[in-house]
């Protein structure tokens, strides 16, 4: 009986030392899960590719300091023919970040381009979206229904001084299925 108890104590102490060893070496595990879809939703946007969003002409006096914004312009990314196995989708916007605020788009470089502002993207609840971060999930209808994923964009002051000129930017987007 003593041999069994001593054997059990030795075995349990060995197990304990293994897990202590693993923890002190910073080891861990990552489990990846996912699914390969038969097809994805079709981006339609009324057959306009690329989607053009006109932010209008804004006076530099409309801004009051770093972080101040102009009026928002609404736009939608339209998805259609979504498979039945997909119930939600989020959008991740990409592009060149502004050097003073890497959460917003930088203006396209060139001669005479405006300075001191970037373009901020917002979700349907008017919350700012950071570049390369997925938006809130939008519920999708499958089949031929058109899903309008609503967003907005606006100019945001990123420097203490603003200069006038063309204020354009380009963003890519990725649909992330949940």
Closest CA to 66 of 166, 163, 161, 165: 161
How far apart CA 118 and CA 164 sit, in angstroms, is: 13
The first and second tokens of residue 115, run together, are: 């300075």
Question: Rounded distance, CA 10 to CA 2, Å?
Answer: 12
Rounded CA-CA distance 112/165 in Å is 6
Give the whole-angstrom CA distance, residue 101 versus residue 129. 12
CB 151 within 8 A of CB 75: yes
Please state the domain extents for the chain: 42-177
Name 27's bridge partners: none
Q: How far is residue 10 from each of residues 1, 19, 24, 110, measured CA to CA in Å?
A: 14, 15, 21, 73
CA distance 112 to 39: 44
pLDDT tens-place values along the chain, 178 residues long: 444 433 444 444 444 444 444 456 777 778 776 766 667 888 887 656 788 999 999 999 999 999 999 999 999 999 999 988 889 999 999 999 999 999 999 999 999 999 999 999 999 999 999 999 999 999 999 878 899 999 999 999 999 999 999 999 999 999 999 7
Cα separation, 172 vs 12, whole angstroms: 55
pTM above 0.75, yes or no: yes
What superfamily in CATH does domain 42-177 come from?
A: Fimbrial-type adhesion domain (2.60.40.1090)
């Amino acid at each position: 009986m003593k041999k069994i108890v001593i054997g059990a104590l030795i075995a349990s102490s060995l197990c304990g030392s293994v897990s202590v060893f693993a923890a002190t070496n910073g080891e861990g595990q990552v489990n990846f899960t996912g699914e390969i879809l038969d097809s994805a939703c079709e981006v339609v946007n009324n057959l306009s590719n690329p989607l053009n969003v006109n932010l209008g002409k804004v006076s530099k006096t409309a801004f009051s300091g770093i972080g101040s914004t102009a009026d928002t312009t609404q736009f939608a990314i339209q998805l259609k023919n979504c498979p039945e196995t997909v119930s939600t989708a989020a959008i991740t916007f990409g592009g060149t970040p502004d050097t003073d605020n890497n959460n917003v788009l930088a203006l396209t470089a060139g001669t005479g381009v405006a300075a001191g502002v970037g373009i901020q993207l917002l979700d349907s609840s008017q919350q700012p979206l950071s570049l390369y971060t997925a938006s809130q999930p939008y519920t999708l209808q499958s089949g031929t229904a058109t899903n309008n994923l609503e967003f907005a964009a606006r100019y945001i002051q990123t420097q203490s001084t603003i200069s006038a000129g063309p204020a354009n930017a380009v963003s890519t987007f990725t649909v992330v299925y949940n």
